[in-house]
Amino acid sequence: MKEIKIEIGQEAFTYRCPEGWGEVTQRQWVAVVGQLLTYGELTPLGVKAVLGIKNSESVRLMPIDWHVLGAELEWMKELEGVTGWMVEEVELPDGRKCYPPAANFDDMTWEEFMFVDVSAARKAWDVVAACLYRPLKEAATEEEDERIAFSRFGVSARLPMFKGLSPLLLSAIEINYMLLRKRMTDLYPNIFRGGSRKVKRQPRAAAGDGQQPSTAAGTDWVGVYRRLLGEHVWEEERLLKLPVNTVLFRLDVMVKDGKEREKEMRRARRRR
């Protein structure tokens, strides 16, 4: 944190400005997302929201003061630096608190990832949130995911409460998922198309609005799934429960090996 001291008359006000995403709170992240989606930058109103400046103080700040504070938060426009879940907790109307998976999706199964990613491609962000954010188990060992297990029934049961979340909070979860998914696409370049592209900041559309799927998702997982299973359909249940990174790594190697074999075949044909 960097402290900025501003003197107004005989008074001095100190503001603590985060210098990296690891220092940004959930409240600040939601405020930043709202500003960037609406204005594409942090306005004085956004600076006020991020730093929690009181109204009694804001009316006394001069334009140069807003400029100084805004300059200290300019780095927030580069969202690609986000490496974890900025929305760390979601409280449902019934009082239950829900938590996200690991930032690198290590505790997510292949079945769950496909469900989330297909929902994201359809822009059903309330469904994505209801899947990603789950309550804790009553008791869990150190070797288990602390959250209750993924199930389509559980997502459907929680969905009405997630539909009641503010559009801005859903947007904050949407952007967060897009950024972390992009990091995954960079790890498995042979599977994902355009993994190195930057995430575009666009106004959030309501779920089911009929618009085209987001560029953050949309991989043909049905085709991928069939290719991975091949003739071994009896492995389906076991495969669905495997960690998603285990499956993606295996598939990435398969695709890479296939491309190399194709290159060798083309070279062999040229030599004939």
pLDDT digits (tens, 9 = 90+) for 136-180: 988 766 666 788 999 999 999 999 999 989 999 999 999 999 999
> Rounded to whole angstroms, what are the CA distances from 28 to 32, 33, 50, 73, 199?
6, 9, 5, 11, 20
Per the model's pLDDT, the better-predicted residue between 122 and 10 turns out to be 122
The listed range with the strongest mean pLDDT (44-48, 207-211, 263-267) is: 44-48
Structure confidence at residue 221 (pLDDT) = 62
pLDDT digits (tens, 9 = 90+) for 14-64: 889 999 999 999 999 999 999 999 988 889 999 999 999 888 888 888 899
Residue 243 dihedral angles phi and psi, to the nearest 5°: -60, 140
Look at strands 11-17 and 90-91 and give their pairing.
Answer: unpaired
Task: Classify residue 139 as left (phi > 0), alpha (psi -120 to 50) or beta.
Answer: beta
What percentage of the chain reaches a pLDDT higher than 90? 40
Burial per residue of 121-159, b for 16 or more beta-carbon CB atoms within 10 angstroms, e otherwise: bbbbbbbbbbbbbbbeeeeeeeeebebeebeeeebeebe
Contact 126, 162 (CB under 8 A): yes
Structure confidence at residue 206 (pLDDT) = 37
Residue type (1 letter), 32 = V
Structure confidence at residue 83 (pLDDT) = 92
Q: Which of 87, 86, 101 is nearest to 134 (CA)?
A: 101
Question: Which residues partner with 2 through β-bridges?
Answer: 17
Lookup: tokens for 182: 């992009």
